[in-house]
Structures are given as C-alpha cells and as structure tokens.
Amino acid sequence: MFTNEKELERELSRPSAGLVADAASWQNDVIVLGAGGKIGSGVATMARRALDEADRDDVRVLAVSRWSDVEARARLDATGVETVIADLSDPTAVDQLPDAGNVVFLVGAKFGTATNTDEAWMTNTVLPAYVARRYATARISALSTGNVYPLSEPVTGGPVETDETGPIGEYAITCRGREQVFTHGARTRGTQVALIRLNYACEPRYGVVADIARRVHDGEPVDLSIGAVNVVWQRYTNEVVLRSLGHADTAPFLLNLTGPETASVRTIASQLGQRLGVEPNFTGAAGATSLLNNASKCHALFGYPDRTIGQLIDMQAEWIRAGGMLWNKPTKFERRDGKF
C-alpha cells in the first residue's frame, strides 16, 4: 500500500518489462499532448522510465501543456521529462511544437460541456485536426472514450470494437468526432493512428471507485441509475496507451481499454462500506442498461490489468482510512443522458 502521493505516483509510472521492450525499439522522440491533465504526468514519466531502463537516452520525452501548475511542471522536469508550454487550441502554437515520431494525445473536454457545448466541439474535434496536420508522419496514440458506444445490458458483456457506435450527448458525440478527425488524417495523409476507448481508469485519488467511496464515507447516497460499470487500474491504462503506439496503423487501430470485470455499483458500495465500517445509502434504481466496454482484445494483446476490482476496492478503502487526498473531480458515472 502507498503511504503518500509520491509513492503512489511512482507506482502509477512503473513500466512493465513489455513496455521496456517496446521502448527499446522507439526510433523517435515521444511527445505527450495534454500532459497537465489527470493522467498526463504518469504517462510521460512512464515513457521516460521505460526508455531509461532500455538504455535509450537518445530518445526524448516531451510533455506539452499550458502548465498553470508550476509545481507539477517542476516535478515532471525532475524526472527527465522535458516540459513544453503551449496552448494547443492555438494552431500557430501547435505548428511550432517540437518534432516527434511518437505522439500521445490526451487532450479532451468533458465536464461542463453540457452547458458550454462549443467548448466540447472546439477541444474534441477542431484541436485534434491541428494535431493531425502537425504530426502527419508520426504514430499517434489518441485517447478516446467508451462513451462513443450506446448503453448496453450487462449480460451482453459490453460492446467490442467492431460494434456500431451510438454516442449519447455532446461529449460523446464530439469524442466520436475526434476519432473521425484522426481517421481522416490516417486516410488522407497516411498517418498511423491508434484510438483508445477507455472506460473509467481508477486510482485512489480519482475515479468511479473513489467517487463511490467518498459518498459511502460521508454518508451520502450512492446513485444506482447506472447499475454496472467497467473500471481499470490507472497504471495499466498508462501502459496500454503507450504500448498502443506499436499498433498504430493507417487503418486506425481501435482498442477498448478497461478491466475484465463488469461490477455492480451496489456491490462496490457495499464492499467499501464493509471495509470502512459504514452502511451505504442508496438512491435511484438500476436501469436495464449501463455504459459498458468489452476489452478482451486489449487483454489478449497486453495481458490483464495488474490489479483486480477487488484490489482496487481494498486500496481505495485503505487510502481513505489513512486520510489520503481525494481530488474534487467527480466522474459523474451515474449520468444516463450523457450530460456532463
């Protein structure tokens, strides 16, 4: 168990032997766009650590953000990652970014997009067009979301990559637009692209399990409107995003990314309550469908996540009992209307 955030972040950026082997073959610099977000520093640091373990000090890792958090930038610089300040909504700034052969795209707008729909369209569709043009000859691993799929019944196991999309709400629709923009770049410019449809990465400070745990701990009702979820350990997420660079193709490589379990929200809350010594309160009724994602292709390629849902629940309860920090960034996983 982690006793502080420094230990946690060290674990979140730990590369596996598989990633180190991949990094040994990277021939060009790696640039992480949107590195100031929730997962960006972990991805950038993991890439740097993998390259260091592979004795590839000839390959740079660059992390791009506005970097309004000066301390976060300094911590990342200390790892050997080179930070770059840029406003990615400015096409001139994008054109002036350093060259790189491997691009990890983590930029996105979700929360607040129900009211500021123009922001969703600008960030999720127009900005990717700037990046697709700037890095036309690179390999791009772009983070997308399982929200591009329609809600499905838990008994189906969730949609696979070949299933039809059916986004609900402006956020999901614009994320599908992001995928189409990168697909257009692949078709017209020959860019090699991987599109990663993620469902709910979790770590002790943030995610669906943290959201539920906070409510249970504080005696607030847990909403059952979405009755089941797929979640995945954040460290595994960081690694899959990086390892997908090796699968990027001009016919974009589509990959669902989440854990193998379909978990009941009620059960997660009940298990957290047992560990925290609190009886959960519930509100709402579980619908017949939920936002789900079948990641069996991902697990066949990269193995199963190194933490199960039960281990994530244990870790979350221990973190809260120890007084660990929780970010005030609710996932709003319970929304059925796609309004975030």
Count of other CB atoms within 10 angstroms of residue 175:
28
| CA–CA gap between residue 318 and residue 203 (Å, rounded) | 12
Residue 167 tokens, joined: 């986004």
Is residue 10 one of the residues assigned to a domain? yes
Provide the 10 A C-beta neighbour count for residue 262: 20
- Is position 107 within any domain? yes
Question: How many domains is the chain partitioned into structurally?
Answer: 1
3-class state of residue 265 by DSSP: helix
238 occurs within a structural domain: yes
CATH number at residue 19: 3.40.50.720
Q: Could you give the C-alpha distances from 62 to 58, 72, 73, 194, 229, in angstroms and in order? A: 13, 14, 12, 19, 34
pLDDT one-digit tens code per residue, 322-339: 999 999 999 999 999 988
CA distance 74 to 85: 12
* Cβ–Cβ under 8 Å, residues 107 and 123: yes
From the list 204, 238, 221, the residue with the least C-alpha distance to 279 is 221
In a domain, 108, yes or no: yes
Number of neighbouring beta carbons within 10 Å of residue 208 = 25
In a domain, 225, yes or no: no
Q: How confident is the model over 102-119, as pLDDT tens digits?
A: 999 999 988 777 778 899
Q: What is the C-alpha to C-alpha distance for residues 43 and 57, in angstroms, rounded to an integer?
A: 17
Rounded Cα distance, 48 and 113, in Å: 33
**In the structure encoding, which two tokens stand for residue 194, read together?**
């991987």
What pLDDT score does 110 carry? 80
Count how many Cα atoms sit within 13 Å of the Cα of residue 93 in the half-sphere of its side chain: 12
**Which helix (H) or strand (E) element contains residue 52?**
helix 40-53
Specify the pLDDT at position 113: 72
The burial of 68, by beta-carbon neighbours within 10 Å (0-12 exposed, 13-18 middle, 19 or more buried), is given as exposed
Tokens at 201, concatenated = 């990465």
Residue with tokens 């129900």: 114
Angle between helices 5-12 and 234-243 (to 10 degrees): 30
How would you classify the pairing of strands 102-105 and 30-33?
Answer: parallel
The domain in which residue 165 lies consists of 5-202+233-260+292-307
Q: Which residues of the chain are modeled with pLDDT < 70?
A: none
Query: Does 62 fall in a domain?
Result: yes
Q: Residue 290 has what pLDDT?
A: 97
The answer as to whether 24 is a domain residue is yes
Buried/exposed code over 47-61 (b: 16+ C-beta within 10 A; e: otherwise): bbbbbbebebeebbb
Dihedral angle over CA of 242, 80, 41, 241, nearest 10: 0
Q: What is the pLDDT of residue 19?
A: 98
Q: What is the pLDDT of residue 115?
A: 78
What Å distances lie between residue 285 and 230, 265, 338, CA to CA?
18, 11, 18
Residue 247 lies in a domain: yes
